[in-house]
Amino acid sequence: MAETAVRYVFGTSFEREGERLRLGESLWDKGTKATLADLDVGPGWRCLEVGAGRGSIAAWLAGRGAEVTAVDLDVSRLVGLRGVDVRELDIGADVLPGDFDLVHGRLVMQHVGDRPAAVAALCRSLRPGGHLVLEDTDTTSLFSHANGPFHPEVKRAAYDVMADAGYHPRCGLLDVDLVEAAGLVDVRAVGRAEVVRGGSDGGRWFALWLAHLRPAMLARGTVSEVDIDRAVADLMDTRHRWLSQVMVTVVGRKDTG
């Protein structure tokens, strides 16, 4: 694998990362599957799942009869995935395999340093007529709460840590322009947000997000242990509900001309 210039912010030894990824799948898989089912993915399709994580979408595509290749910087959580060709690759630096009917990536482009180059590389991996589906977040809505501001300083501190590692907080919206600039046609985009209840699987995903970033947030010095503890307690409290980020899904097609 080639050297990457950007450090993946969650690529640490945080022991509950597998659980965090699973909770993220439980929050976002339903909408992702609806988008991909709408394209009619099935037998005869060749699919590339980038930044596959724990592989729930790669496994689901394989279960629909598609031929699936899954790539990630860290493939340790993809070992044993049935019917999926797993490869350790950096989508920001390595040459990717080609001739796919579908390339899908969720919550990965937002962590890549040179996003225009990476989107162009994903487009090169498509066969003419193939679809690119990118899903990334716009973070503006996160922690919108009926009672007013919900831990805005903790949200800011967490995203500052992620930005230090190359994360872009408006990436979901910016993906639309990148997909158009890469020359795909029929480009369309929608956003979906979840209303998350404290203590639910979705609520725990946000609590583990803070747990993972906690040491780096404290090192930056803008929030204290008490601030983070209060936020985590509220995220686990069933009396609270808040809006998630908006997951922006961009779909484009490679021209056959």
Ligand X SMILES: C[S@@+](CC[C@H](N)C(=O)[O-])C[C@H]1O[C@@H](n2cnc3c(N)ncnc32)[C@H](O)[C@@H]1O
Binding site for ligand X (CB under 6 A): 4, 8, 11, 21, 24-25, 51-53, 71-74, 90-92, 106-108, 111-112
Which pairing describes strands 185-192 and 246-253: parallel, antiparallel, or unpaired?
antiparallel
Beta carbon of residue 75, minimum distance to ligand X (angstroms, whole number) = 9
3-state helix, strand, coil in the chain (%, to 5): 40, 25, 40
Beta carbon of residue 108, minimum distance to ligand X (angstroms, whole number) = 4
Indicate the DSSP class of residue 110.
G
Q: Is 227 helix (H, G, I), strand (E, B) or coil?
A: helix
Beta carbon of residue 177, minimum distance to ligand X (angstroms, whole number) = 20
- Whichever of 8 and 45 has its CB closer to ligand X, that residue is 8
Question: Are the C-beta atoms of 54 and 21 separated by less than 8 Å?
Answer: yes
- Whichever of 90 and 234 has its CB closer to ligand X, that residue is 90
* Own/partner pairs, 223-229, CB within 8 angstroms, 24+ separation: 223/153, 223/154, 223/157, 227/151, 227/153, 227/154, 227/157, 228/154
Beta carbon of residue 65, minimum distance to ligand X (angstroms, whole number) = 21
Distance, in Å, from the CA atom of 51 to the CA atom of 107, rounded to the nearest integer, reads: 8
- Whichever of 72 and 175 has its CB closer to ligand X, that residue is 72
Distance, in Å, from the CA atom of 255 to the CA atom of 184, rounded to the nearest integer, reads: 7
- Whichever of 8 and 143 has its CB closer to ligand X, that residue is 8
Closest residue (Cβ) to ligand X?
A: 53
Beta carbon of residue 110, minimum distance to ligand X (angstroms, whole number) = 8
- Whichever of 153 and 201 has its CB closer to ligand X, that residue is 201
